[in-house]
Amino acid sequence: MKKIITATLVAGLILTAPALACRPLVTDDCPVIERGSFQWEFGVLNYSENSLDTRNITNVVTFGWLPRTNLVAEFPYFTVRGSAQTISGMGDIILKAKHNLISPEDQPVGFSISLGNNFNNGDIGNGFGDGKDNLFAHAILTKPLPFGAAHANLGYTFTDALANFGAALEANLPSDAKFLSEIAGERDQTGAGPVNLVLGLNKVLNSQIIMDGGLHFGLTDSGPKQMYTVGLTASI
């Protein structure tokens, strides 16, 4: 059980990073929301492995603090069901600030940076926390394209000495929908770590709500081989 829960944590840290470019992507984008506004992202990530069913529910709240700076908080909750028992608990809360330096609306390529911390508050007894604070930093690039946009991230988690990366494409579809794809993952000092291919869709329902769904495919032996997610993003 402990091994699978640890894999759940790894998947959760990668696949539910806050302030997504477009759910269900993990790779962040350069733009920030307007000052004084809020954005709420809700997602459910599911997978089965070794006779255990795992569900990761995340709530991500973004606040437009300054004209070019957002504050972001993520609250993950895990449930693991086996044949004999079901365990649930909070994961580590993530807080970060994201600052846009170059807008992709003004220049050919946009650039933002983010700095945050993965706090040591999760249910460590059930394996839903890693037992320590993790400071991280990310560089974020966005390139507008005739059919959509491309995004690239490169980051580092200092306590665990992990390099994080992501590359994503958004392709516009009819009826206010988008096809989304990415490769994202992390590497430790030995070069090991999970890498995932994500394929998904999202659709604008109205001026405030976007629905989404996607499939995640594990490309390495670290973490689950296949997961699926559904969610929504609401602007306030």
Q: For residue 60, what are its two tokens? A: 């991500």
0.75 cut: is pTM over it?
yes
Produce one character per residue of 48-70: b if its CB has 16 or more CB atoms within 10 Å, e if not: ebeebebebbbebbbbbbeebbb
Beta bridge partners of 177: 173, 203
Relative to beta strand 38-49, strand 69-81 is: unpaired
pLDDT in tens, 61-97: 999 999 999 999 999 999 999 888 899 999 999 999 9
> What is the reported pLDDT for 21?
57
Question: Both tokens of residue 175?
Answer: 């009826």
Beta carbons of 73 and 65 less than 8 angstroms apart: no
Across all residues in the chain, what is the average pLDDT?
89
Structure tokens at 90: 């909070």
Q: Is the pLDDT of residue 6 over 60?
A: no
Taking phi over 0 as left and psi of -120 to 50 as alpha, with beta for the rest, 220 belongs to: beta
pLDDT at 224 over 90: no
- Domain extent for 73: 2-235
φ/ψ of 51, rounded to 5, equals 65, 20
Which CATH number is 40's domain given?
2.40.160.40
**Can you tell me the distance from the alpha carbon of 112 to that of 57, in angstroms, rounded to the nearest whole number?**
27
Number of domains composing the chain: 1
